[in-house]
Structure 1
Amino acid sequence: MKNKILTISYVLVFFTSIIFSSCNDYLGVLPKGAKIPTKLADYEAFIRDEYSNQRVDVTQTSILLNDRNLTSSDLSYYPLWKANYMWDESANRVTLNNSDEGCYYISYAAISTCNLIIENAPTATQCTETERNTLIAQAKVLRAMSYFNLVNYYANVYDESSASTKLSVPLISSAVINAPYKQVTIQEIYDDMLKSVEDALVNLPDVSATVLHPNKATAYAFLARCYLQMGKYSNALANAELALQVKSTLFDWTAYYASNKAQIENPNSYVKTVSPMGFNSVENYNFRHGERSYATSERNIPVARAASFEPGDARFASRWKLRTVGSDTYYTSTLTGFFNYGGLTTTEVYLIKAECLARTGKVQEAMDALNAVRIKRILPAVYQPLVTTDAVTALKYIIKTKANELIMTVMPFADTRRWNKEANLARTFTKVVGGTTYSLSPTSHLWTMPFPKGATDNNGNGSITQNVDK
């Protein structure tokens, strides 16, 4: 998609020195060389700016889950990484998180851009009213997606009984420099996300200009994700069905495996094949990068984590291969290109549908939705449909599949926090390192990430209260 979507960066001098200055003396003074956006195309270009506005950095979630392999040098160099990776509840992560931690700053940069579009596009020129409304609606969806990542990273998991009293994250609705803001409750941030996207729906197109631009199906998929996180299963299911009515195609990883079988099955070759998870994937509702926006490989994963994938999983085998380098053994990435770690896909929506059906007593339909995904992943010689009539067993099948399918995204972390509230689904993570057993309990405070110290110490025109003690 890089050859189709240009990465465009604009220096918005006017935000900091002209239009949004608190000093009236500077109003109307245009610095030499500065450009004030006026055309709708100028604002639309911000959505195409993949480095600044389409990245989703949730590094610490993958580290806490041990989905990402860390070397001894990683553990030595990054104390915050070590605290999460080794499940060290004694570590003061508030103090350790003293740098510009990516999830916070990248997410709020994208939110600021969305606010800029929402505030200024109504007066943009060289466009129709429909085009203005479409761009504003798309910015509202992207802003809500960024807030979802933030609230499921820095705040407690949504619980209806406490959501109206527990704090979440700063809700910033203006791009004005030093605009006042409030750290709202968990309920308020979810209400804001839902209202923004539901209001946007009427102005979203059926087909977007690019996969970076949300459309109606993207909004339905996000609403399904959001309602699921809130435990509102009927709403989540209804939106999942609407998204799947628009797009329901699943990528066939068994066919990909067959096409690249010689390379994949050669244990001594680590030549990389091209990622089918990029901009043009048939599964994309919309595309957002992970922590990086340039073509690269996936992160390596630990041997213990690899063991949780199903036998015959062509998706796993196509992405990672066992490797030993010196004293380290891990599964190394075997794909190169782009990866949709931050957007929404048909795979996720099928699995949302499956969980909602299981939770509403429609177990056979839930298993049908789950197996629709699995048959595209498990090699034909190994594949057998999963069968059960028990809702809890069905949920456990869905949980395992979803954690594997959405690895390296925020969802395994967000989902695990949600499942940890339920006694029959909660999980204690364990591992043995150097003869010592480590564990991560479902009630550990490590399941909430601390705000970066830079944000709490320099909180601008508002205040931020840490949601976790350490």
Structure 2
Amino acid sequence: MKLMKQLIYTCVLMCCVMCSSCNDYLDIVPKGNKIPTTLADYEALLRDEYTIGQTSISNALYLLNDYYVTVSNLNSPTLTRANYMWDETADRILLNNADESTYYQLYAAISSCNLIIENVPSATEATDAERAEVIAYAKVIRSLCYFVLANYYADTYDAATAGEKRSVPLITSANINAPSQQVTIQAIYDFIIQGVQEAIGEGLPEQSMTVLHPNLGAAYALLARVYLQMQNYSEALNYANLALEQNDQLYDWNAYYDEHHSTIENPEDYTGLPTPTDYSYVENYYFRCGNGSPNYTTNELNIPVERAERFEEGDARFLSRWKLYSQNQDTYYRGVGNGYFNWGGLTTTEVYLIKAECQARLAQGGDFTEAMNTLNAVRQTRIRPEVYQPLTASTLTEAIELIRRTKDNELIFSIVPFADARRFNQEGTYARTMTKTYEGETYTLRPDSHLWTMPFPAGAINNPGNGSIQQNVSK
């Protein structure tokens, strides 16, 4: 890690030397550091998960009430409390007066990708095809980062207004003086799609170097996610099918449950169970850490009791990952899994469920059999055999609700349930008003609440670099 940080530091230094009129003394390489010149030097940046591989989205998880917050942490006015308690009177702009990891982690990753895209064409000790492959990896990662940023700090995509509403700053160079422009939602989506399509055209391989390098299946999966968010169901279905042609494996959580049955069914045993959702998970297209740290193993996140009640009966994945736990004032479902978690990447399960929704949306004559078959393919590997029954739907509303339930549960702690909720809220037909009871009082989160868009952190507004940023929310 120390060597990697030195490498990143010197990459930035090199950009200063190349792109600005620095003094001669900057041409001297600091002792113990290395200016990247070979393709291997640049490719190493893609393996530094601490800089390029994190996707922290804590406040989205708090707003969804997917991530439990203890009573003691709700006693003071903080950004966490405002989102978790759905407090529309709170000034979240004022509360977000410190650096927020979501913004800075993702733009740090984008900077590394920009550095690779700009400089790899002249990297030594490589063929043109090898250079193109590394550039393609960086373009997919950069597009994924912009998708998260756009669905966190800007309003959700609406074709009628996407060309007018502001999104997030678009930065395409690693130069420290590079211009930054806060573009429209349409412009950021166009850039995301263009980057992934360029990566596919430039030779993104079916089998990538490692799971930290997004493969061809990951590119198709990301396009399926993006087009679904744009409500372009035919294109989303097309790319979902292409992704599943690359990898359609599903992990057998029933087999996992059977293997660890004695620990899972012991209510007093909170021993950290090994999570299969790590680097070798058969469902991975691309592995990316979420709220966990890439430097060491972590525990599964805790979830509120009311959130746990939304899992399907007999869900082996739920039974294997959480147990009811009480301590002092707090009662919640404690995460018992331990290891590395692909909360920020791309998996086959997400693609199956994208495909299921698109099949339901595009179904002819009210026949939702294909959509339900796709959904049930996932459920068969999750729901205990003594409970499992294939689901059917007679209306689109019923099909969407069943697919959404599984998707929200399968992809908990990722950006997907948050982005999906915003999409359904914007569409209107399937919008939900969320409710909960806390200390005897009922709280609600309306689908049109301003809380669904996160405020930029103060550091970004006050120090926007070579550009300007306007807040996308009033508070």
- Normalising by the smaller structure, the TM-score range is over 0.9
Aligned position for 2:423: 418
Aligned position for 1:319: 321
Question: Does 2:20 correspond to 1:22?
Answer: yes
TM-score (norm 1): 0.97
Distance 2:121 2:324 in 1: 53
Aligned position for 1:222: 222
Q: CA deviation at 1:299?
A: 1.1
| Residues 375-427 of structure 1, C-alpha deviations (whole Å, 9 max, x = no match) | 11100000001111211110110111101110000110000000112333110
Aligned position for 1:93: 92
Aligned position for 1:142: 141
How many correspondences in the alignment? Answer: 466
Which stretch shows the higher mean deviation, 17-26 or 41-50?
17-26
Kept in 2, the 8 Å contact 1:155–1:448? The answer is: yes
Question: Does 2:133 correspond to 1:124?
Answer: no
Q: CA deviation at 1:72?
A: 1.7
Q: Secondary structure at the match of 2:431?
A: coil
Q: CA deviation at 1:28?
A: 6.1
Amino acid at match of 1:333: G
Distance 1:6 1:397 in 2: 47
| Residues 144-203 of structure 1, C-alpha deviations (whole Å, 9 max, x = no match) | 000000000000000000000000000000000121110000000000000110011021
Q: Secondary structure at the match of 2:333?
A: strand
Distance 1:125 1:331 in 2: 52
Distance 1:29 1:425, change over 3 A: same
How do residues 57-72 of structure 1 correspond to structure 2 at under 5 angstroms?
Answer: 57-72=56-71
| Residues 108-166 of structure 1, C-alpha deviations (whole Å, 9 max, x = no match) | 00000000000000000011110000000110000000000000000000000000000
Distance 2:130 2:439 in 1: 60
How do residues 30-429 of structure 1 correspond to structure 2 at under 5 angstroms?
Answer: 30-33=28-31, 34-76=33-75, 79-202=78-201, 203-291=203-291, 292-293=293-294, 294-361=296-363, 363-429=368-434
| Residues 185-239 of structure 1, C-alpha deviations (whole Å, 9 max, x = no match) | 0000000000110011021011011000011111000000000000000000000
Q: Secondary structure at the match of 1:138?
A: helix
Kept in 2, the 8 Å contact 1:12–1:36? The answer is: no
Q: CA deviation at 1:24?
A: 3.6
Which stretch shows the higher mean deviation, 82-91 or 18-27?
18-27
1:12 to 4, 9, 12: 9
Which stretch shows the higher mean deviation, 286-295 or 235-244?
286-295
Which stretch shows the higher mean deviation, 414-423 or 179-188?
414-423
Distance 1:123 1:105 in 2: 28
Kept in 1, the 8 Å contact 2:17–2:27? The answer is: no
Q: Secondary structure at the match of 2:426?
A: coil
Kept in 2, the 8 Å contact 1:290–1:341? The answer is: yes
Distance 1:107 1:15 in 2: 17
Unaligned runs of 5+ in 2: none
Aligned position for 2:442: 437
Distance 2:372 2:3 in 1: 41
Q: Secondary structure at the match of 1:110?
A: helix
Q: Secondary structure at the match of 1:420?
A: helix
Amino acid at match of 1:15: V
TM-score (norm 2): 0.96
Distance 1:130 1:78 in 2: 54
Kept in 1, the 8 Å contact 2:8–2:45? The answer is: no
Amino acid at match of 2:309: A
Distance 2:43 2:76 in 1: 40
Amino acid at match of 1:135: V
Distance 2:34 2:44 in 1: 14
Distance 1:71 1:441, change over 3 A: same
Distance 2:435 2:345 in 1: 30
Distance 1:321 1:78, change over 3 A: farther
Q: CA deviation at 1:100?
A: 0.9
Kept in 1, the 8 Å contact 2:137–2:199? The answer is: yes
Distance 2:143 2:124 in 1: 26
| Residues 76-102 of structure 1, C-alpha deviations (whole Å, 9 max, x = no match) | 367000000000000000010011101
Q: CA deviation at 1:326?
A: 1.7
Unaligned runs of 5+ in 1: none
State the identity as a percent: 53
| Residues 307-333 of structure 1, C-alpha deviations (whole Å, 9 max, x = no match) | 000110000010100011122111001
